[in-house]
Structure 1
């Protein structure tokens, strides 16, 4: 017995042979590990992102900050959202490490099926695409679905 979609050729599913670099959004916006929670929130809100790479002073990926992390910061009382344009924190120190997810990324030549596997395994809504440890783009579920539907960005 064959697998359910084994009779579908790559020509029927061109996204199967596409790579992360074919669908990634760029330029990538990131925050340094010295950024504060309010700074990160402003970037996420102003650009409509769900995931934000966190980089060191050399621009190397050190982790990702997600909407889930910000919700945890809010519930813990560390982050206060008082109005749509005003986000404050009780402490202006850099983003606490407990809110930064360990670095998860894919290479530019990672296949879209492999990107999907990483996103499902890590439950991230977007994943950084890196070259030599530096974020060069992001692949979100929207990017993946656009590729599947034949409309890569």
Structure 2
């Protein structure tokens, strides 16, 4: 089974700005490519920051507002500094939140949520910009065909983990929802299968009516976790 990472769903090639790019050039990039933010890279293509529409709008917000007031807070002083900035280096928000191209899709989703961002620059092993992954990109796993998900279930879960019981369970996948039916010897077997199937990319939910000849729940060590290797 293939482990999906951000490299499978990210957008590439990606629009970026050089640190020395002018304010107007960055505005042009956003307008021309219809994006709301661009990563900023140095001469080695390493990501040093991100310039968003919000960063650019500081110049409009404080237009003609003069110097900062004497008792201005740190945030206002920072925003006014961006209002007077002329290059991407001075406009950008830094340090940037980035992810490796090897990052799993669930991990990328957690980083986005925790950081409160809508997209993440993706870097290679040398820290160079390789792409950008957005919230909508992470949802691409749910566009996987049902037949592809079914194949993963049969080859990566049923055969390796159920052995002889694999022939006693039927599996159906409709719009990413997996339905299991049939019977097994032990309750723990179908519980394990359901846990593993839920980890597969593109699976929306798992419904099971599988019956077990022996309920071995009391024999299972509390807190035991199963993961796909």
TM over 0.5: yes
Q: Distance in 2 between matches of 1:76 and 1:95?
A: 18
Q: Distance in 2 between matches of 1:111 and 1:46?
A: 31
Give RMSD over aligned pairs. Answer: 2.6
Give secondary structure in 2 for the equivalent of 1:121.
Answer: helix
Aligned to 1:76: 62
Q: Are residue 122 (structure 1) and residue 121 (structure 2) matched?
A: no
Q: Distance in 2 between matches of 1:68 and 1:150?
A: 34
Structure 1: any 5+ residue segments left out of the alignment? 1-10, 79-89
Of the two, which has the highest radius of gyration?
2
C-alpha displacement of 1:35: 0.9
The higher relative CO (CA closer than 8 Å, separation ≥ 6) is in 1
C-alpha displacement of 1:98: 5.4
- Residues 51, 36 of structure 1: alpha-carbon distance in 2 compared, 3 angstrom cutoff: same
Deviations 1:2-46 (A, max 9, x none): xxxxxxxxx9xx9xx420000000001211111112211111121
TM-score, normalising length: structure 2 = 0.49
Q: Are residue 150 (structure 1) and residue 136 (structure 2) matched?
A: no
Structure with greater proportional helix content: 2
Structure 2: any 5+ residue segments left out of the alignment? 65-82, 146-229
Match 2:32 to one of 25, 46, 49: 46
Number of matched pairs: 126
**Contact 1:53 1:65 (8 Å CA) reproduced:** yes
C-alpha displacement of 1:93: 3.0
Give secondary structure in 1 for the equivalent of 2:8.
Answer: helix
